[in-house]
Amino acid sequence: MPLAPQLLPALGLAALGGLLGWWPLAAWATRSLHAPPPRGIRAVVATSAALAATTFGALGWRFAGPEMDASGLVVLGALLVFAAAATVLATVDVLEHRLPNAVLGPAALAVAVLLGLAATLDGAGAGPGRARSAAIGAAVLFALFLAVALVSPRAMGMGDVKLAALVGGVLGWGGLASWAVGVVAMFLIGGLVAVVGLSLRRVPAGGAIPFGPAMLAGALLAVVAVPATLGP
């Protein structure tokens, strides 16, 4: 029985993600912390490697293949950069309830440059439209989160607001369906985490729960699940 054409790229990218998560991403997350991780460096390394391997593998399975053109390859690169940054940001947010600008800024810049390059390479196709969709998605989600943060600062931190621009751009590249699924997914995941945390008494009533990991998980889920992300 022939192997699925996505299998080898998925395994290769999963291995790459695991290696990156094991050292540079885990090291970046550790350096971004204000205090030593409570469970030690090994826990950070294991978590980082698992997250990066899973997300890289899923992106490889969904998008990599012999039919991918130059524009699609660059978009995949942008998504891998996003997944790598998500690994670091989620780790720091879980441990310290913050999303460091030193991670978020370079990630947003790299993703924007790569998506812009992809749009240029696909100038005669859907690229320019996707670039506009990404810009609109970033602006709208940023504005929504900023409004929530201004009305209720305790409910939404400014780190989440800045992350919303990056997440909204990545989701917007895939169109309205990708954007909508990602936004709904992040709030469902965030709500589920809150309910489970309160039920297990891991989070006290009224306690803060980091929303960054739910935003990133919802975005990556939509990117992988919604077929239009790299389509024409």
Residue 47 lies in a domain: yes
pLDDT of residue 232: 38
Is the overall model pTM greater than 0.95, yes or no?
A: no
**Which SS3 state, helix, strand or coil, does residue 113 take?**
helix
CA dist list (Å): 219 to 97, 119, 178, 179: 19, 20, 8, 8
In 3D space, the residue among 120, 84, 67, 110 whose CA is nearest the CA of residue 231 turns out to be 67
> In which domain, by residue range, is 42 found?
7-229
Residue 224 lies in a domain: yes
pLDDT digits (tens, 9 = 90+) for 30-79: 999 999 888 788 999 999 999 999 999 999 999 987 778 999 999 999 99
Report, as ranges of residue numbers, the positions in the chain whose pLDDT lies below 70.
1-3, 202-207, 228-232
pLDDT of residue 165: 99
How many beta carbons lie within 10 A of that of residue 172, not counting itself? 25
pLDDT of residue 204: 60
pLDDT of residue 65: 77
Residue 203 lies in a domain: yes
Residue 88 lies in a domain: yes
| Distance of alpha carbon 83 from alpha carbon 77, whole angstroms | 10
Number of domains in the chain: 1
